[in-house]
Structure 1
């Protein structure tokens, strides 16, 4: 997907950033993809969401090049895997784990808490309005991961936890926040796939005995 001129292979669906991170595991043309597979990929994904990070920090995309992200790319993947496991528990997700099946619940919580070390500070210029800015790390890349982890703590402890859903379209590993009553799928693409599949089943019933 393209965001601010940066192309990442992951879908960006406008979900909360922790959910966007979960969705860096995706399926494209029947194959599972990982938008964080390499350090360069991790840098591309962070740059693609930099505009959203910048709303609460001073982070800009040019601070998230491959060299800057290389030392924290592993932590970003660890956070992604922890969030997917905790999201699966929160949503009673029936799908098989798409990443890190050996990760335990305790390890996932510990990883999230270790990374969620950003904290908000009041910014109030003499000639402007008060606002909130996050601090907590030496580099922009570290702060980006800490901010996403911090937002994940808020996700799992706030009202969006009850709205978090696994997309149950065939072979889709994505999560989404159910932001209106009729939404059932992560995207219109999955909704169309399900309608096509239902239409096929209605008009091509399975032979008796199968």
Structure 2
């Protein structure tokens, strides 16, 4: 199953579950997703273990619930807000002074296990999305069998991917317009 990435990180997290696939069900699938996010996340060197997937799935559910509330302009479930805030506290970032020859630089570090550092980064991405004034513009794909969300760069965008869902819809419409009429035979 081809996962779409490139939306805000919190949307990409929610989109790890499609109608017929969950990238958080197997560690191999989740590690593939993480590799696609490597430019946006600080990742461990070792593959993410299957034992930690349940914590990521729980956070994804809370992010999805809070996001849906924001899209509907209703109060978010208090449990979801609490869970995101709890994840933010697991491995907060801190600056660390680092010598670079005769000068110094600053790097950001986090303490904690690989899963706590990842959960904190994903929770921070959720905060970024949920506090963005454009959160109300997040849309659901209009393809009938798709549940993916996207933040449209163009107001006329209707599908999560013009090359996947968009193409399927256009092909179906074309077929409906050009299918032979067998009722006259």
- So what's the TM-score if we normalise by structure 1? 0.67
State yes or no: 1:192 paired with 2:175: no
Alignment partner, residue 183 of structure 2:
none
Alpha-carbon separation, structure 1, partners of 2:31 and 2:176: 43
RMSD: 3.0
Alignment partner, residue 34 of structure 1:
22
SS of the aligned residue for 1:53 comes to: coil
Q: Deviations over 1:152-194 (max 9, x none)?
A: 0121011341332211211101111112333221101112223
Aligned pair count?
173
Q: Deviations over 1:2-49 (max 9, x none)?
A: xxxxxxx4513211221111011114xxxx111111455444533443
Q: Flag structure 1 segments of 5+ consecutive residues without an equivalent.
A: 1-8, 94-103, 205-210
2:47 to 52, 64, 76: 64
- Judging changes above 3 Å, is the alpha-carbon distance between structure 1 residues 193 and 89 closer, same or farther for their aligned structure 2 residues? farther
Alignment partner, residue 145 of structure 1:
119
Alpha-carbon separation, structure 2, partners of 1:170 and 1:120: 41
Alpha-carbon separation, structure 2, partners of 1:15 and 1:121: 27
In our comparison, the structure showing a higher alpha carbon Rg is 2
Q: Deviations over 1:76-108 (max 9, x none)?
A: 000111122222222239xxxxxxxxxx82222
2:57 to 77, 91, 99: 77
Alignment partner, residue 92 of structure 2:
119
State yes or no: 1:179 paired with 2:153: yes
Higher helix share: 2
State yes or no: 1:161 paired with 2:141: no
Q: Flag structure 2 segments of 5+ consecutive residues without an equivalent.
A: 180-185
SS of the aligned residue for 2:135 comes to: helix
- Judging changes above 3 Å, is the alpha-carbon distance between structure 1 residues 123 and 164 closer, same or farther for their aligned structure 2 residues? farther
- Judging changes above 3 Å, is the alpha-carbon distance between structure 1 residues 109 and 203 closer, same or farther for their aligned structure 2 residues? farther
Alignment partner, residue 182 of structure 2:
none
Alpha-carbon separation, structure 2, partners of 1:163 and 1:121: 32
State yes or no: 1:17 paired with 2:9: yes
SS of the aligned residue for 1:122 comes to: strand
Q: CA deviation at 1:195?
A: 2.7
**Contact map agreement 1:79 1:112 (CA 8 A) in 2:** yes
- Judging changes above 3 Å, is the alpha-carbon distance between structure 1 residues 49 and 119 closer, same or farther for their aligned structure 2 residues? same
